[in-house]
């Protein structure tokens, strides 16, 4: 697969964004709305090496071409609760599966658990959809980002209760949906 489409996806995502999201907490039947402002900036090679090292990944030869970014975000819920977070992340492609680019998604800090985390990604070049699957201690998060055009992304977040090894994902604990627009 030509990695140029994958790289363009991320190049388009660099910048300042605002997101309106709705979260459905199915564990306690609550719906919450929030607004998030976030900034995405590129990582230099030293920071890419740090993300690789934090996650105990060997440095690949093509380090300079790997998509690596810093994300800062500030969220305000409809109840006035505020959260701010920052992290570095890197994508390491490792193959192709039925036309989808696959690989590892590395972060120096994860959302659910504040530690380095390796997840899996799949990227569909026909729909510009990036799907991320992260297995945490108690949940499995399946996050989808679809780049509709250079100024709009659609986000879907499904957190499943983590099943026993080898069992399917069947119990949703949280569902989130959002529209993200570039400033």
Reported as a single tens digit per residue, the pLDDT across 8-37 is 999 999 999 999 999 999 999 999 999 999
Pair of tokens at residue 168: 């399917």
pLDDT over threshold 70, residue 126: yes
Q: How far apart are CA 51 and CA 145, in angstroms?
A: 22
pLDDT digits (tens, 9 = 90+) for 138-177: 999 999 999 999 999 999 999 999 999 999 999 999 999 9
pLDDT for residue 4 is more than 90: no
Average the pLDDT over 96-100 and give the result. Answer: 94
Rounded to an integer, the average pLDDT of 45-53 is 96
- 106/134 Cα distance (integer angstroms): 10
The pLDDT assigned to 3 comes to: 82
Per-residue pLDDT at 1:
61
Structure tokens at 108: 């120096």
pLDDT, position 111: 76
Phi first, then psi, for residue 167 (nearest 5°) are: -90, 155
Task: Name 58's Cβ contacts closer than 8 Å, sequence gap at least 6.
Answer: 52
110 pLDDT band (50/70/90 cuts)? confident
Is the pLDDT confidence value at 134 over 70? yes
Parse the chain into domains and list their residue ranges.
4-182
The DSSP string of 129-168 is: EEEEEEE-SSEEEEEEEEEEETTEEEEEEEEEEPPSTTPP
| Domain at 4-182: CATH code | 2.40.128.20
Q: Which residues are CB-contacts of 173 (< 8 A; sequence separation ≥ 6)?
A: 25, 26, 27, 139, 159, 160, 161
Rg over CA atoms, the chain: 16
- Tens digit of pLDDT for each residue in 56-97? 999 998 899 899 999 999 999 999 999 999 999 999 999 999
- pLDDT averaged over every residue in the chain: 95
Note the pTM of the prediction, 2 decimals: 0.93
């Amino acid at each position: 697969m030509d990695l140029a489409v994958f790289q363009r996806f991320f190049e388009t995502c660099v910048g300042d964004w605002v997101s309106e999201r709705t979260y459905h907490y199915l564990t306690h039947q609550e719906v919450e709305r929030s607004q998030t402002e976030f900034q995405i900036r590129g990582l230099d090679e030293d920071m890419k090496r740090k993300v690789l090292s934090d996650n105990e990944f060997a440095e690949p030869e093509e380090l300079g071409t790997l998509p690596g970014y810093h994300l800062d975000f500030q969220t305000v819920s409809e109840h006035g609760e505020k959260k701010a977070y920052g992290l570095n992340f890197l994508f390491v492609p490792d193959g192709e599966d039925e036309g989808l680019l696959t690989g590892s998604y590395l972060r120096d800090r994860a959302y659910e658990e504040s530690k380095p985390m390796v997840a899996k990604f799949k990227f569909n070049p026909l729909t510009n959809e990036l799907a991320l699957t992260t297995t945490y201690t108690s949940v499995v998060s399946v996050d989808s980002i679809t780049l509709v055009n250079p100024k709009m992304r659609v986000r879907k977040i499904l957190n499943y209760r983590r099943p026993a090894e080898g069992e399917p994902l069947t119990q949703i604990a949280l569902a989130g949906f959002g529209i993200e627009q570039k400033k």
